[in-house]
Amino acid sequence: MRNGIIATILLACLSFAGCDSSLTPEQIQAWSGQIAGISEKIDGYQDATTTAVDKLADAGLLDEATKAQVYKISGEIDRVQPALASISTAIAAAEITSEKDIQQWIELARAANQGSAPVNPYAPYIDLGLGGLASVAAYFAARKAKDAKTAEAKYAAHKAGVERANLDLPTETAKVIYDAIGDARAKLGVK
């Protein structure tokens, strides 16, 4: 049950990460910092509920089975709260070092996974998966940056060739212009 709750929370975080472009890892961290206050409120509600159940049972308005169910639910909440506190503390304390959005979400998910490690037997495997995902994301980010740099160099070469053709050969045909573009590209080392 406990692992299922943790897995569900982790999957929800991963599946909704980035869905709302206005939602940022910093907001998630801020919300995680509020878990302690929410947990205290839940404790207050639990106390009020168990007190009310005890009074209703003493008055004969509740049977023992219902009272046992309420106590069981309260016990499950008490059992899950430390795990949730550990996860939220890890998320709130996570240092986001990347400037890329997907990398930030992966770092946040890794922090949540590390926070769940004491109660999640799959944490090491999830960490390996997130590490692999981070590597793939870094590879694609580097490839995208390289492609952007190449495109920028091609644009600069094209621009230089057109400017040279316009200055040096204003009356020549289109073939001369494209030859000038090719020469400028070769000079700049762009294919």
Q: What is the pTM of this model?
A: 0.55
How do the domains of the chain map onto residue ranges? Answer: 2-121, 145-188
> Which residue positions in the chain have pLDDT lower than 70?
1-21, 163-175, 191
Residue 46 contacts residue 74 (beta carbons within 8 Å): yes
Alpha-carbon distances, residue 96 vs 107, 173, 180 (angstroms):
7, 56, 47
Q: pLDDT above 90 covers what percent of the chain? A: 1
Is residue 170 classed as helix, strand or coil in its secondary structure?
A: coil
Q: What is the pLDDT of residues 156-180, one digit of tens each?
A: 887 777 766 665 555 556 667 777 7
- Give the position of tokens 């206050």: 37
Beta carbons within 10 angstroms of residue 162's beta carbon: 15
Structure-block tokens of residue 106: 């992966």
Closest CA to 82 of 108, 115, 49: 115
Q: Which amino acid is at 84?
A: L
